[in-house]
Amino acid sequence: MTNPAFDAIKSDITNNDVVLFMKGTSSMPQCGFSSRVAGVLNYMGVEYKDVNVLADEAIRNGIKEFSDWPTIPQLYVKGEFVGGCDIITEMTLSGELDTLLEENGVAFSKEAADKIRESNK
């Protein structure tokens, strides 16, 4: 038995290097946590697909089950679940996100990442 929501999720994370399942869109986030993660990615110049979970109840519930992670937003890089808002924030501040993106060949602005860290010291 196939799950259409799982199929759509799998397709998105397979066909895009970086995917953010979020409430709202990258240009119009609908919650603070989604806004923070989208803001980091946008500021760092990361190209990513945004999936608005508010537009599809099956995806909204399905992504939580798919990743076995209870909250949204959820970030995927090269098909791997990275984490939610707190994890992405910590990884950004520690430089781990830079490393993850570099190791996966995802372009981003190192200068912007450094500025985020500088302003959060």
The SS3 call for residue 104 is coil
**Which residues are part of a known binding site for [2Fe-2S] cluster?**
31
Biggest alpha carbon distance in the chain?
A: 50
- Residue pair 56/84 in contact by the 8 Å Cβ criterion: no
**Which residues are part of a known binding site?**
31
- Residue pair 15/8 in contact by the 8 Å Cβ criterion: no
- Residue pair 21/59 in contact by the 8 Å Cβ criterion: yes
50: CB partners within 8 A, 6+ apart:
19, 20, 22, 25, 26, 38
